Copies of this chain bind each other. A is one copy, B any other.
Amino acid sequence: MEKKLAKLKSMLAEISDLGAIAQLMGWDQQVNMPPGGAEARGTQQATLQRLIHIKSTNPELGKLLDDLKEYAKELDPDSDEAHLIKVAARDYERDIKVPPAFMAERAKVATLAQSAWEKARETDDFSLFQPHLEKVFDLAHQFVEFFAPYDHVYDPLLDIFEPGMKTEDVKRIFAALRPQQVELIRAISEQPQVDDSFLHQDFEEQKQWDFGVDVITKFGYDWNRGRQDKAVHPFTTGFSINDVRITTRIHEDYLPSGLFSTLHEGGHAIYAQGHAPELERTPLVGGASLAIHESQSRMYENLVGRSHDFWTYFYPKLQETFPEQLGNIDLETFYKGINKVEPSLIRVEADEATYNMHIMLRLELEIAVMENEIAVKDLPDAWNARMEEYLGITPPSNRDGVLQDVHWSSGSIGYFSTYALGNLVSAQLWEKINQDIPDLSSQIQNGEFGNLLTWLRTNIHRHGRKYEPQELVERVTGSQINAEPYMRYLKQKYGEIYGL
């Protein structure tokens, strides 16, 4: 059996190496590749993905995993090896269920859907996108049938991003969150608005860059094992726990954009740099789920990066960096400004208090279409009705409504909930961290982030994909993912800022 385990590890290591190479190709494509290189890169990526698929669905791998299932029962259930066998079997079962011809068809549909979406958004004409989106949802229906039987038609889509989570769980969590968050937003809207005009000034790019670098260096991002570049849509990627790269984009006329982007991606990257070294070249490297990954990025971006404690330490430095722009703005004004709440049309520009509403709206629509409760053609109206209900505003155009996100056009159904779940998890962890490190608040006021990092390393980062998201959160906090800590966090923070 030891021999079989060694064989398994060697097969998985090869798949892991090829996956890392594919990531590098993707990074280069977004950061460096000249426009002319696109076609060849697409072909090369397809060749590599085909090889990865062949190796991931190799019947010999399935046989090994079958043989090792019994052996795994003899192992310490919490050992890396027991989890390795379990996670590899889960990946294998998923991969063999989806035929390559379907994957190819889906890729083709997505390519056409994306260019149709671009056109539709440009001309604000949903009808151009509608037939493509119908095809995308048709394929999503076909996809879930590969995983029949299921409890809910949306489960197999959710499971890709949140292993083990059920649609019923997500619905229940959001049902508890929705009325509280709507009520909070309403209450804030009745208060006098805070001023954030000083954030819209001219902030030199290099200074913004350097400031962001200083912050995430203090957080613990390891530059010996990473780097930062510019990209139109910031993202984080890694090819090893020792090579995790981030990207950012800086707007000279609006300070928060680049700064919080760097903190957000820094959070993702610190997670990815923190997996246990012994997980390298195994499928246990990676985040437990997208929600858990988002919990780390949102924690550093918001719970740390938009906190009063954080700016107590960093604001004098920021004022030194931009004395003309911020010299006359005091800490309280600045703190309120970067935390201004204002219902808005565009998800990616939404503040902490309203962001989840954008997500719930999308999730409900996705589920309703999958349940055949809403037709694709009716999505624009359904979207606008919910925007009015949740945020009190109606998009003046589909471009600012149903056509704003790229996700559906790229075939990603099931993805959105991870953004909101990540927020919830970040607050759940934050409550626990503050119990375990009672003076964390004053540590942060002094620019000390070492204990926070150690806690995250120990409890979250090092485990990689060993645990499913619910399992991990319960293991660490004692509860499953739920909305209460996040609502407590929002109510306290915005209660103070808006004097509720």
Contact = CB atoms under 8 A, between A and B. Distances in A.
Contacts of A225: 34, 36-37
A25 interface: yes
A169 interface: no
Contacts of A43: 17, 281
Given A34-B224, A224-B34, A243 B41 contact: yes
Interface in A1-55: 13-14, 17-18, 20-21, 24-25, 28, 32-37, 39-41, 43-44, 47-48, 51
Contacts of A18: 47-48
A269 to B, nearest CB: 11
A486 interface: no
B242 A48 contact: no
> DSSP class of A's interface residues: helix, strand, loop or mixed?
helix
A227 interface: yes
Given A40-B243, A47-B14, A21 B20 contact: no
A36 B47 CA distance: 28
Given A34-B243, A43-B281, A222-B36, A24 B28 contact: yes
Given A17-B43, A21-B48, A37 B240 contact: yes
A34 to B, nearest CB: 5
A30 to B, nearest CB: 13
A243 B44 CA distance: 12
A260 interface: no
A280 to B, nearest CB: 7
Nearest to A37: B243
A242 B44 contact: no
A268 B43 CA distance: 24
B47 A224 contact: no
A223 interface: yes
A234 interface: no
A280 B40 contact: yes
Contact of A37 (B32, B51, B239): B239
Contacts of A25: 21, 24
A35 B222 CA distance: 11
Contacts of A220: none
Interface string A205-231: 000000000000000001111110000
Copies of this chain held together in the complex: 2
A243 B24 contact: no
A41 B43 CA distance: 22
Given A35-B224, A240-B37, A44 B17 contact: yes
Interface residues of A, number: 36
A14 B48 CA distance: 9
Contacts of A44: 17, 20-21, 239-240
Given A24-B25, A43-B281, A243 B17 contact: no
Given A28-B24, A225-B36, A17 B48 contact: yes
B239 A41 contact: yes
A23 to B, nearest CB: 10
A20 B28 CA distance: 13
A291 to B, nearest CB: 27
A33 B244 CA distance: 10
A477 to B, nearest CB: 32
A222 B37 CA distance: 12
Contacts of A33: 243
Given A41-B243, A47-B14, A243-B41, A224 B21 contact: no
9 contacts: A14-B47, A18-B47, A18-B48, A28-B28, A34-B223, A37-B243, A39-B240, A40-B240, A44-B240
Given A34-B227, A51-B51, 20 more contacts: A18-B48, A21-B44, A34-B223, A34-B224, A34-B226, A34-B242, A34-B245, A35-B224, A36-B225, A36-B242, A37-B242, A37-B243, A39-B242, A40-B240, A40-B242, A40-B280, A41-B240, A41-B243, A44-B239, A44-B240
Interface of A: 13-14, 17-18, 20-21, 24-25, 28, 32-37, 39-41, 43-44, 47-48, 51, 222-227, 239-240, 242-243, 245, 280-281
